[in-house]
């Protein structure tokens, strides 16, 4: 019999991140302390309900797991089928990316009038690893599943309701195109049923 997901892990993460944002709005502190919280979350693969880890054969999926009631942050699972990748894009808000299953390749870019230039080489993120993005620390990148033969899953945290944020993809000459990502799901996990006791 399949064990039920250990949702208290996600609930604790949400509560701790909300507490951090209650205490500070300094981005550097949020990225450092929030990154440590996310690293702990993605170091355990026993909490994500399987319905939020289902790939699509055509493109990656973005499932909303939680949105703060004040929309100060959102938590999503990105699910990558074999070989799938995003376009080059920005976020316009701070973000944290942590790999839960599989692996991702992340390539940073610089956008300038008439050109789109890779910054260094793509780097690989493995389970338990976390990186930050923001207009301050670097906000334009492309992410891809590092595997051609299996699904990868990452957990992203953003400083807004990311599915409703107006952002940009970038063409080969840096030409921007506005998009709003939305979400792949219409309901979120019930983190608040404290009557459900799950061993952690």
Cα–Cα nearest to 191, from 4, 12, 69: 12
- Do 159 and 91 meet the contact criterion of CB atoms below 8 Å apart? no
Percent of the chain at pLDDT exceeding 70: 96
Q: State pTM to two decimals.
A: 0.94
Strand-pair partners of 49: none
Angle at 129 between CA 137 and CA 191, to 5 degrees: 100
Cα–Cα nearest to 135, from 171, 165, 104, 173: 165
Task: Using the predicted structure, report yes or no on whether residue 147 has a pLDDT greater than 80.
Answer: yes
H helix intervals, 24-173 = 27-42
For each of the domains in the chain, give its residue range(s) and CATH number, in order of start. Answer: 7-179 (2.60.120.10)
Angle at 176 between CA 171 and CA 132, to 5 degrees: 90
Please report the DSSP string for 2-46 in residue order.
PPPP-HHHHHHHHHHHHHHHHH---HHHHHHHHHHHHHHHHT--S
Stretch 73-89: mean pLDDT: 97
Task: Using the predicted structure, report yes or no on whether residue 104 has a pLDDT greater than 80.
Answer: yes
Maximum Cα interatomic distance, the chain, rounded to a whole number of Å: 57
pLDDT digits (tens, 9 = 90+) for 132-144: 999 999 999 999 9
Stretch 70-75: mean pLDDT: 97
Task: Using the predicted structure, report yes or no on whether residue 1 has a pLDDT greater than 60.
Answer: no
Q: Measured between alpha carbons, how far is 76 from 62 in angstroms, rounded to an integer?
A: 6
């Amino acid at each position: 019999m399949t064990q039920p997901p250990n949702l208290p892990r996600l609930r604790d993460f949400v509560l701790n991140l909300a507490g951090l944002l209650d205490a500070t709005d300094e981005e550097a502190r949020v990225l450092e302390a929030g990154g440590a919280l996310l690293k702990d979350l993605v170091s355990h693969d026993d909490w994500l309900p399987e319905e939020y880890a289902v790939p699509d054969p055509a493109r990656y999926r973005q499932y909303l797991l939680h949105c703060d009631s004040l929309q100060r942050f959102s938590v999503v699972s990105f699910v990558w089928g074999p070989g799938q990748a995003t376009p080059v894009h920005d976020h316009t808000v701070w973000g944290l990316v942590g790999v839960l299953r599989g692996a991702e390749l992340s390539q940073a870019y610089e956008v300038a009038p008439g050109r789109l230039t890779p910054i260094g080489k793509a780097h690989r993120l493995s389970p338990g690893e976390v990186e930050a993005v923001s207009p301050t620390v670097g906000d334009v990148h492309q992410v891809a599943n590092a595997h051609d033969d299996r699904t990868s899953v990452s957990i992203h945290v953003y400083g807004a309701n990311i599915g409703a944020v107006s952002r940009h993809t970038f063409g080969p000459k840096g030409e921007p195109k506005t998009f709003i990502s939305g979400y792949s799901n219409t309901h979120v996990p019930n983190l608040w049923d404290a009557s459900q006791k799950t061993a952690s």
